[in-house]
Amino acid sequence: MRLINVSLFSFTTAYHWNMTEIEATARTEKLAEPESRTGLMRSVLRSVVKVMTVSDAPDYDQPWQTAGPESAVGSGVIVMTTRGTRVLTNAHVVQNQVFIEVRRYGKSRKFVAEIESVGHVCDLALLKVEDPDFAGNAPPIPIAELPVLGNRVSVLGFPIGGDRLSITEGIVSRIEMSPYAHSQRTLLAVQIDAAINAGNSGGPVVKDAELVGIAFEALDEAENVGYMIGAPVVKHFLQDIADGIQDGFPDLGIVTQQLESKSHRRSLGLSANSHSGVLITGVAHGSSAWGILEKGDVLLMVDGKNIAADGTIRFRKGERIEFTHQIAMHHVGETMRVKVWREGAMRRFDIPLKRPRFLVAEDSYDIKPTYYLYGGLLFVPLSRDFLTTWGPDWWLEAPSELVSIYQHEICSPARTQVVVLQKVLADRVNQGYHGFEALAIERVQGRKIRDLRELIRIVESATDDFIRFEGHEGSVIVLDRDLVGEGNRRVMRRYGVAFDRSVDLRK
């Protein structure tokens, strides 16, 4: 289960169309003058890059087409990788890109860049510039360790309100696990009080001329509250892609509950005063923990680190952090040792770590949406991208049933994907159902469906005269199978749909 923060705060990724120029220039910035910096800072400035992207995002309201080209501006930094110097930036700066240009600080020439690797989960991307003149004498910025609370850092980048490089300074004020706006995955985030404005995204955050993070988010409701992706996440990303394959961040696939109640602990046979362990209340089908951990287990330890009843582990001296950080810092394919309390006894398990399995898909980028059109009925998998078609307050505007599924349900053997009738493209073949939309489909031909592919298999192998779809709340849609073929062709001509299904379903 993924929690979304919708009541008190609203995060936005810091690229230029998410804030107005008035908002950006209202914050104090200091323009960087090379002659006023030390030689060390001048060396760092040479490695800061402006990233200019043209993107063409999918249209999840009409998934057979795109939304049209848009331009974005972000920042980046030259770093050293196992394959040579590259530009590191945010994934959201180059999401759904069709063309990318980069320009170094103090230079006038723009260079064409291409994405070499992208990690949308951690909001990081690596760009490659083929032209050898690009890097020139720019030294890659070394990556340091995570700063501590109170450390002063500098944010370098190209926020809107001007074309020159900007430097803002602040202190590290908080280190915790937080949902990233780009993916909603909870990873390590570092709060700083330096201004991070639109266009800063992807820019380096430095301390003593070393990279300690990448700027990526700002808090709308507060002044000078920004966030950076911490150095451990950056290093994980670069290590992950060193072999040319982007595996992402593993997850146990469990839902947990804090165990701070003494009564609850005693009922499970645990010491009321030990203050350790969290209760497992669900295990996602196909996840790392599936078939190993069980609902009702108490997770006591990961990698030899004790988990407190509030779900935290020791991080650094005097600091604690959510235990999920320990899992995220592993790589997919590695094994994690865990200790659990099960039915009055301690149990230890070695768990091979996999990518997470979500019932409702995370935000996706750089790929076309999945859809299937049958008799003018448009079926799609439930995803966060689909929910956001209801606008910035989608958690209030979207159907409560679908939002509840997103927030609370996990994969099970019977259902690994939620299929939704997104809308009905009106035609006489589907007359009587034109008002149906956003309906979760539970059964086809009386059979429960596991995912969209199963719906397609049942429909296309049916020999009955009628095809029957049943919604989660009992609604029923019936189509005449003999009329669907010609009806679908009419619908496709009328609405400009080239194929009756998305490219991934045509394979």
Delineate the domains of the chain, giving CATH numbers in brackets. Answer: 11-243 (2.40.10.120), 254-352 (2.30.42.10), 372-506 (3.20.190.20)
Look at residue 198 in the predicted model and tell me its pLDDT. 86
Told to judge if 201 belongs to the known catalytic residues of this protein, a careful annotator would answer: yes
Q: Quick one: which of 244, 276, 279, 237 has its CA closest to 258?
A: 279
Q: What is the pTM of this model?
A: 0.88
CA separation for the pair 52, 124 (Å, rounded) = 16
Look at residue 253 in the predicted model and tell me its pLDDT. 96
Calculate ∠ Cα 445-442-57, nearest 5°: 115
Give the H/E segment covering residue 439. Answer: strand 439-444
37: DSSP letter: S
What would the two tokens of residue 387 be?
A: 């929910």
Residue for token digits 């029957």?
A: 468
Cα–Cα distances (Å) from 77 to 95, 143, 205, in that order, read 17, 11, 10
Look at residue 36 in the predicted model and tell me its pLDDT. 43
Active-site residue (options: 16, 92, 182, 236): 92
What b-and-e string marks burial along 286-316, b requiring 16 or more CB atoms within 10 Å of the CB? bbbbbebbeeebbbbbbeeebbbbebbbebe
Cα–Cα distances (Å) from 92 to 265, 420, 429, in that order, read 43, 27, 41
Long-range contacts of 330-334 (CB under 8 A, 24+ apart): 330/250, 331/236, 331/239, 331/240, 331/247, 331/250, 332/240, 332/247, 332/248, 332/249, 332/250, 333/247, 334/250
Residue type, 348: R
Please measure the distance between the N-terminal and C-terminal CA atoms of the chain and give it in whole angstroms. Answer: 30
Look at residue 220 in the predicted model and tell me its pLDDT. 75
191 φ/ψ angles, rounded to the nearest 5 degrees? -90, 135
283 φ/ψ angles, rounded to the nearest 5 degrees? -130, 125
Q: Which residues of the chain have pLDDT under 50?
A: 1-37
Dihedral over alpha carbons 391, 359, 441, 447 (to 10 degrees):
170
Residues with Cβ within 8 Å of 423's Cβ and at least 6 positions away in sequence, in order, are: 378, 436, 437, 438
Look at residue 222 in the predicted model and tell me its pLDDT. 66
Work out the burial of residue 470: count CB atoms within 10 Å of its CB; fewer than 13 is exposed, 13-18 middle, 19 or more buried.
buried
Active-site residue (options: 55, 117, 183, 201): 201
Residues with Cβ within 8 Å of 91's Cβ and at least 6 positions away in sequence, in order, are: 118, 119, 120, 122, 123, 124, 125, 182, 365
Answer for the pair 197, 24: CB distance below 8 angstroms, yes or no.
Answer: yes
Active-site residue (options: 123, 193, 240, 297): 123
Told to judge if 92 belongs to the known catalytic residues of this protein, a careful annotator would answer: yes
Told to judge if 240 belongs to the known catalytic residues of this protein, a careful annotator would answer: no
CA separation for the pair 420, 273 (Å, rounded) = 47
Look at residue 244 in the predicted model and tell me its pLDDT. 87
Spell out the alpha helix ranges (H) of 284-436.
324-328, 384-387, 394-397, 400-408
Look at residue 40 in the predicted model and tell me its pLDDT. 66
